[in-house]
Amino acid sequence: MHAVRLVAAAVVGLAAIVLCTSGPALAGSGGGGGQCTVDIGGQWVTVQCGYSSGNGGSPGGGGAGGGARKVVTTCTFTPLSEAQAKNLGLAWPPPKGTSWALMDCPGGKAGAGPQAVLLSTATGAPRITPQQLLQQALSKLQVPTLRPDTAPPRGRDGLVGLAEWFWVPAGDWHARSVTVSAGPVWATATATPVGLWFEPGGGLPTVGCRGPGIAYQPDRPASEQRSRCSFVYDQPSVGQPGNAYQASVVITWRVSWTGSAGAGGVLNGALPVPFSFALPVAQGEALVSSP
């Protein structure tokens, strides 16, 4: 599963923060593996967008995958000798009552190796803050691009005057979290889906609904089914780029964190992660049904 990877930078001094964005406006390109941005402590960090696996597009179908709900990583420490510390450019001798060690928190972003930290010689506890461990947690937190289902399914024409349904399989609609601990110090980064929006394209207004939406049931009459996660086109897509509306289903995620000693806050109240697709819409009276 490809996923959005949140990469934090310069958050060592981060305190409890509340940062929110309004609405589903995208910061970057959408489907096809473009880029998104996340606001971390007033600093915009570019992250990669990608698709989760799944067989979306069939009414009532469910996309596969959805990501691990919880990941827990325990950092390990390797003591450094005087020669090793000096070779790394660390001050020697270390402050009284401490020793140097390399802290390794496996599973982080590519190229993120161990970092030097001070350990208490009395307790063995690292002299590190939850905010520093937050960097490690964010480097491991993957926010997937949830693959939506639609009715009519993607690959088939929509119809003028017929509601286009969109939803995310309920099994994919859950929080993802990563906890990184180093001795008694810990930090947990959590991404929770909070909103679902449909951008119909063609300059038409965005619509949204709470939760993952309602799956269309093809074995029930359409007249007996209702969903707020739907959109009705009143014009065919002829004349649009590629003769199709360039539509997107956008999931917004609340990215927050907690840590030891009561640390924590909201890093982004509405991180938009889009899934874009072409949606041809035909004129109703041009369609002929077989008896």
pLDDT (mean) for 216-232: 87
CA distance 165 to 91: 62
Which pLDDT belongs to residue 67? 55
Contact (Cβ atoms closer than 8 angstroms) between residue 136 and residue 180: yes
32 pLDDT higher than 90: no
The three-state DSSP-derived secondary structure of 201-264 is: CCCCCCEEECCCCCCCCCCCCHHHCCCCCEEECCCCCCCCHHHCEEEEEEEEEEEEEEEHHHCE
Confidence at residue 262, expressed as pLDDT on a 0 to 100 scale:
86
b or e along 113-142 (b: 16 or more beta carbons within 10 Å of the residue's beta carbon)?
eeeebbbeeeeeebebbbbbbbbbbbbbbb
pLDDT at 285 (0 to 100): 56
Q: Is the pLDDT of residue 275 over 60?
A: yes
Give the span between the Cα atoms of 206 and 214, in whole angstroms.
18
Q: What pLDDT does 89 receive?
A: 92
In this predicted structure, the answer to whether residue 66 has a pLDDT above a threshold of 60 is no
Over residues 206-230, mean pLDDT? 86
What whole-number percentage of the chain has pLDDT above 90? 41
Nearest one of 68, 37, 43 to 142, comparing CA atoms = 68
pLDDT at 132 over 70: yes
Q: How confident is the model at residue 138 (pLDDT cuts 50, 70, 90)?
A: confident
- Average confidence (pLDDT) over 44-57: 39
The yes-or-no verdict on residue 174 having pLDDT over 50 is yes
Residue 210 CB burial class (10 angstroms; 0-12, 13-18, ≥19): exposed
**Both structure tokens of 93:** 């001798």
d(CA 104, CA 182): 9
The CA distance from 99 to 202, in Å, is 62
What is the pTM (predicted TM-score) of this model?
A: 0.73
Closest CA to 120 of 91, 97, 92, 102: 97
> Between β-strands 70-74 and 176-182, what pairing exists: parallel, antiparallel or unpaired?
parallel
Mean pLDDT over residues 30-50, rounded?
45
Residue 233 burial class via C-beta count within 10 angstroms: exposed 0-12, middle 13-18, buried 19 and up: buried
Among residues 53, 65, 56, the alpha carbon closest in space to that of 216 is found at 56
Q: Which pLDDT belongs to residue 68?
A: 64
- Report how far residue 165's alpha carbon sits from residue 150's, in angstroms, rounded to the nearest whole number: 5
